[in-house]
Amino acid sequence: MKAEGTSSGQVLRIGSAINLAGGAISEYERLHAAVWPEVLSQIARSNIRNYSIFRMDQQLFSYLEYTGIDYVADMANMAADPEIQRWWEQCQPLQQQVPGTSGGEWWRTLPEIFHTD
Amino acid sequence: MKAEGTSSGQVLRIGSAINLAGGAISEYERLHAAVWPEVLSQIARSNIRNYSIFRMDQQLFSYLEYTGIDYVADMANMAADPEIQRWWEQCQPLQQQVPGTSGGEWWRTLPEIFHTD
């Protein structure tokens, strides 16, 4: 996600994509059916709301809403959380970046081409 | 989308995918940058809210929230709307279904494997 400015009170909708590694579907889904409470708490503290992940075969598509005012700082706080780091150590070997992912991103952020409230 | 039951007051989140035909990106994005007001009105009348489409190369991912109590009836109303039919005549030649799409679906509905409010 690029460091786009967000103004207070505005919701930033973020769609992104990543692939699953071969054979990783069942383990990834098992982890995500019971995400650790510490991970969910940090997601909320980082001002992420209404966060869903959908799967199409080996592809994952995520949708979330960022409600804070400093996305870069909130993501830095998330990355610094030891429980998040431990969670990512579980998840990242199960994932493979999609072509076109920008340097510095793990999931590829996708442009929104339509929205209606 | 399967005819899943929804209870009153509950939001049904729907993620789905379709491909764009070769060469169709610019025309599809042009249409979706200025969706006809009649189409947006029918979407709202069909109890669809917070509807976004994201693009990854030739792939489209959509996220929407259904807030009604009879999804099948609301989708039938949408399909019967002449302006919606005229809109779909513009859009469908620009799209190609993804493998694995169920009979009766146009976009492929994807299972949600994670959600946090």
CB A35 within 8 A of CB B114: yes
Tokens of A11: 């919701």
Rounded CA separation B52/B116 (Å)? 18
CB proximity A63 to B under 8 Å:
yes
Please give the full DSSP string across chain B, using - where no structure is assigned. -------TTPPEEEEEEEEEPTT-HHHHHHHHTT--HHHHHHHHHTTEEEEEEEEETTEEEEEEEE-SS-HHHHHHHHHH-HHHHHHHHHHGGGEEPPTTPPTT-SSEEE-EEEEE-
pLDDT exceeds 80 at position B49: yes
Rounded CA separation A33/A28 (Å)? 9
Residue A8 — pLDDT band, cuts 50, 70, 90?
low
CB A17 within 8 A of CB A108: yes
Tokens of A47: 């001002």
Percent of chain A with pLDDT over 90: 91
Tokens of A75: 């993501």
Cβ distance of A113 and B56 shorter than 8 Å: no
Chain B, residues 22-51, CB within 8 A of chain A, namely 28-29, 32-33, 35, 40, 43-44, 49-51
- CA-nearest of B25, B48, B36 to B88 is B36
List the CATH number of the domain containing B50.
3.30.70.100
Q: What is the pLDDT of residue A3?
A: 41
Q: What is the pLDDT of residue B62?
A: 98
CB proximity B116 to A under 8 Å:
yes
Chain A, residues 75-104, CB within 8 A of chain B, namely 98, 100
CB proximity A15 to B under 8 Å:
yes
In a domain, A4, yes or no: no
CB proximity B19 to A under 8 Å:
no
Of the candidates A32, A61, A98, which has its C-beta nearest B110's C-beta?
Answer: A61
Total domains in the fold of chain A: 1
Secondary structure E strands in chain A: 12-20, 48-56, 59-66, 95-96, 108-110, 112-116
Calculate how close chain A gets to B72, using CA atoms only, in Å: 21
| ipTM over 0.90 threshold | yes
Residue A10 — pLDDT band, cuts 50, 70, 90?
confident
In a domain, B44, yes or no: yes
Please list every residue in chain A whose beta carbon sits closer than 8 Å to the beta carbon of residue B114. 32-33, 35, 51-53
* Per-residue model confidence as pLDDT tens digits over B33-44: 999 999 999 999
pLDDT exceeds 90 at position A116: yes
In a domain, B47, yes or no: yes
* Per-residue model confidence as pLDDT tens digits over A90-102: 999 999 999 999 9
Percent of chain B with pLDDT over 90: 91
Residue in the structure block whose two tokens are 């259904």:
B66
In a domain, B76, yes or no: yes
* Per-residue model confidence as pLDDT tens digits over B1-13: 444 445 556 899 9
Q: For residue B89, what are the domain limits?
A: 12-96
* Per-residue model confidence as pLDDT tens digits over A52-93: 999 999 999 999 999 999 999 999 999 999 999 999 999 999
In a domain, B51, yes or no: yes
Rounded CA separation B11/B95 (Å)? 28
In a domain, A54, yes or no: yes
In a domain, B107, yes or no: no
A-B C-beta contacts closer than 8 Å: 94
Cβ distance of B50 and A117 shorter than 8 Å: yes
In a domain, B110, yes or no: no
